[in-house]
Every structure is written in C-alpha cells, then in structure tokens.
Amino acid sequence: MSQKKSAERLDHSASHLLHKAWQCAGDAFQREADSSDVTARQYTVLAAVADNEGLSQTSLVERTGIDRSTMADLIYRMVKKGLLERRRKPPDGRRYAVKLTAEGRRRLRIVQRIIARVDKRILDALPARNRERFVRDLQIIVDALSKQSR
C-alpha cells in the first residue's frame, strides 16, 4: 500500500484523529501548565474532587475514567505534594474519602485558568457556530463508549 493511501486512511479514522487531537491538547496544556506543577490527569482529579468532596477512590475512578492503579498512584503522589488528603471512610475502614487541601484548591484555581485558555485555543480552531455542537458530540461519544466498556 502506498504511503499516500495509508495517510488518507488515517485522516479518516475517528480513533486516530481523536488520539492526535488528544496529543495536541495535551501538548498545549503542558506548554501552558509548566509553571503550575500540575499534570492534565492531576487536574482531572483535582476538579473531580472539588466537585465531589469526600468521594472514595473507587468513585473517582468511575467519575474520571482513570484506571484504578493509576488513580491510586495519582492520589498517593498528590497527597505527598499536599494537594489532597485522604481519610478513612466509615463504616468501611478500607475505603478512603478524598478531599482537597488549601494548596489543592489554590492550584486548582490556577490550572482552571490554564484549562480555559487551552479549551479556547482548541475551540477557536472551529467556526464559532460549530463549537457548542463539537463539545456535545464529544460528550455523546464519551457517554456511549463508557457504557460499552462497563
């Protein structure tokens, strides 16, 4: 198969284009967020915890889509950085409730401004009339694929 046909096939592959878009968005985030010392995944955790103080790690896995072992590692590192705190969740002493620390709230506010700039840069690539629909379509895709993977 020629290189041209292979490139054309990739240019029409939804999974490939989503992956490339994710890489571009991640690169844009990293360029903006270098000084914040918060990664894109850490932002996801901070935002999810802020919206749902006291959730268990298991609930955060369900809410964010981050796999269980990665979530455990993220939370461990974020506790060490002073961004999160974990407390045993009664009545099941094996579960932890996760909450933001004051430093976690401060960093979240900083990174929310970064995310807003990155989101604007991403959406500015589209005509204004298509932006809201694009975000809705992404949500439809995420919802459908999440249901399939359960």
Query: Which single residue is written with the structure tokens 């690539």?
Result: 125
Q: What is the dihedral of CA 17, 18, 22, 28, to 10 degrees?
A: 50
Q: DSSP of 51-64, one letter per residue?
A: HSTTEEHHHHHHHH
**pLDDT by residue (tens digit) across 1-42?**
566 666 678 888 999 999 999 999 999 998 888 777 888 899
Pick from 48, 62, 50, 59: nearest CA to 95: 59
Q: How far apart are CA 42 and CA 46, in angstroms?
A: 6
**pLDDT by residue (tens digit) across 66-95?**
999 999 999 999 999 999 999 877 666 667
How is domain 22-149 classified at the architecture level of CATH? Orthogonal Bundle (1.10)
Which amino acid, residue 74?
L
Check whether the bond before 91 is cis (ω within 30° of 0): yes
